[in-house]
Amino acid sequence: MEPFITPEYYEEFYPDAVDEWTLSQHLQAKYGNLDKIENHYKTFIVRPRHRLRIIAVSPNKVQSRPRKTSH
Question: How many chain residues are in contact with another protein, going by CB under 8 A?
Answer: 22
Of the two residues 28 and 58, which places its CB atom closer to another protein in the complex? 28
Any contact of residue 25 with another protein (CB under 8 A)?
yes
How far apart (Å, rounded) are the C-alpha atoms in residues 54 and 62?
8
Of the two residues 53 and 64, which places its CB atom closer to another protein in the complex? 53
List of residues 6+ apart from 18 with CB closer than 8 A: 3
List of residues 6+ apart from 66 with CB closer than 8 A: none
Of the two residues 25 and 58, which places its CB atom closer to another protein in the complex? 25
